[in-house]
Amino acid sequence: MAGQKTDQRDVYVGQRIAEQRRKASLTQRRVAQSFGMSAAQLQKYEKGTNRISAVHLDIFSRMTGVPMDYFFKGMPRSDDFVAPGFGEREQAALSEGGLKGLAEVVGRHITENFSEEARRDVADAIRALENKLGS
């Protein structure tokens, strides 16, 4: 990855790679051969001196039987950025608003997003549920 400076995240991933390689009783030479590179290059990945490619990490993941996300869990972050579409707003626990709070959220969503006919159908379903529960 010419031109890209490595950081603490590369060190973290490298440490996880080294740890799993040792657990799987694999030598650096054996892993490096499967990547088509020298053991010295693999050592640079393990130390975080060089950034490992996604392809090589995938190969290593399959070699050791460790899921890809293992190498990133607990990784230090350099920012608080959450990519749009990959994160959700934090949600309040149900106990904070109870079922009444849940009903308010659902009701607001239905009011804002459903047609009048669909809202009537939902209201009919709720009345049927009330009758079934004996309220």
Claim: this prediction has a pTM higher than 0.75: no
The total of structural domains in the chain comes to 2
Any domain includes 77: no
Task: Give Cα 2 distance to the centre of its chain.
Answer: 27
Tens of pLDDT, residue by residue over 4-43, are 788 899 999 999 999 999 999 999 999 999 889 999 999 9
Residues of the domain holding 42: 8-72
Tell me: pLDDT of 87 over 60: no
Q: How far apart are CA 76 and CA 79, in angstroms?
A: 9
The last residue of one of the domains, among 25, 57, 72, is 72
How far CA 110 is from CA of 6, 11, 12, 114, in Å, comes to 48, 48, 45, 5
Residue for token digits 């130390």? 47
Confidence category of residue 1, pLDDT binned at 50, 70, 90: very low
Any domain includes 80: no
Q: Could you tell me if 61 and 104 lie in one domain?
A: no
